[in-house]
Amino acid sequence: MIRSRPRPALNAVLLCILFSALSTPPDAASEERQAGPIRFIHESADTPEIARLRAEFDFDEYAARGETELDQMLLLKNWVFENVDFKHNYGLGNLRNALRILRLARGGATFHCSHFAAVYMQCAVSMGWTARYFFLRNVKEEEHAVNEVWSNQLSKWIFVDVTWNVHIEKDSVPLSILEIRNEWIRNGGRDVVYVFGAGANEARYTHEDLPVERSDNNAWIWWPLDDIFITYTWEVALIGRNDFFTGRVGEGDGFWDLIYVIKDSLNSWDEGWSLRRRTDVDDMRALYHDINRVDVRTEPAGGRSLRVRLDAFGPYNYTPNFREFEARINGGAWRAVGPDFRWDLGRGPNVLEARVVNRFGVTGPVTRIVRRR
């Protein structure tokens, strides 16, 4: 299906990716350099191209039609699909800068999967969501570029394939790459649903519908959706950064510096997929940490009070572009709070809810605890 040009092989270095966790919000000098549970470099909200991207293109207004965050994330996928034309264009192979790609697309240029994934990721980041960039390789040794985006609404990672304008669900819940891979291993993906588009043009296909032919772009015309599609999860490589606007990362420099390649019992024998400066990972779950989650701890503070400590940078959690914590008690108003405060308990059950707000104004998942006096 979609093939990337071969890249020179380098010796892979086996490294441990479970770095020591941050216990406090990072300082300004390193605030977007995530240290744990994996090393990952996030685009800063202060990057000028972030505002420029939203000012020049209307994807944010288009996505805003969605009633929920999930609706908006899928509408963004649809927008990119409709505004970027597919055709192999290896002359722009290292270009992963959404501003340049969308400007060229407006002038009639065509692009392949690597460009589609870059545009979705950077547009999502500009809207305050955390998105990341993957290379996949199927059992026919064909390569493809896709995304995952963190859903605050569902508290999970979601697979997004903009080239085909598809995400994959099971029991009406969008799946991550890891979850899709598990479904393929379990029974060849017979229980998943392939969801094309979003909003008015949404179409849903089951395993029994395969192969599915559409004429929406050249990818669909050349490669109908078939039972090979799910095998793209055979080999998985995560790019350890989404700061493609920083320096010249989105134009080749630094892009290949940090790559996590999954090597497990399913594919460890294969030496045919070599990525520069890669780090082999033997458990995909290591890459599936939470984003924007608040860990809440309490301890007695004397009398009827508890000391509450909030942490958005735990061992398996990280909050990019952190701005502040918010909390509410017993269903009251949300208020900005510090990471350490006193909670006076009333009679009966007391409910504390806490969440993160990032510098885009986007709120993370809510953590809820109940304590009785």
339 φ, ψ (degrees, to nearest 5): -75, -5
Report the C-alpha gap between 292 and 154 in whole angstroms.
12
Report the C-alpha gap between 176 and 238 in whole angstroms.
13
The percentage of residues in the chain with a pLDDT greater than 70, rounded to a whole number, is 92
List CB contacts of 178: < 8 A, sequence separation 6 or more. 157, 284, 285, 287, 288
- Average confidence (pLDDT) over 73-98: 91
- Average confidence (pLDDT) over 188-192: 97
pLDDT of 1 strictly over 80: no
List CB contacts of 302: < 8 A, sequence separation 6 or more. none
The pairing of strands 317-318 and 290-291 is: parallel
pLDDT of 23 strictly over 60: no
Contact 67, 289 (CB under 8 A): no
Report the C-alpha gap between 118 and 145 in whole angstroms.
9
Domain extents for the chain? 28-288, 291-372
Report the C-alpha gap between 130 and 322 in whole angstroms.
12
Contact 184, 231 (CB under 8 A): yes
In terms of Cα–Cα distance, which of 211, 204, 256, 32 is closest to 130?
A: 32
Contact 140, 146 (CB under 8 A): no
For residue 273, the cross-strand partners are none
Q: Quote the pLDDT of residue 31.
A: 55
Q: Quote the pLDDT of residue 91.
A: 77
Distances in whole angstroms, Cα of residue 281 to Cα of each of 233, 249, 264: 15, 23, 8
- Please write the tens of the pLDDT for every residue from 25-84: 444 334 589 998 899 999 999 999 999 999 999 999 999 999 999 999 999 999 999 999
> What is residue 55's three-state secondary structure?
helix
Class of 291-372 per CATH?
mainly beta
pLDDT of 181 strictly over 80: yes
Model confidence at 8, pLDDT cuts 50, 70, 90, reads very low
Which of 14-28, 235-249, 261-275, 348-362 has the highest average model confidence (pLDDT)?
348-362
C-alpha triplet 127, 131, 134: angle, nearest 5°: 150
Model confidence at 271, pLDDT cuts 50, 70, 90, reads confident
| DSSP state at residue 313 | S
Q: Mean pLDDT score of the chain, rounded to an integer? A: 90
Report the C-alpha gap between 198 and 208 in whole angstroms.
21
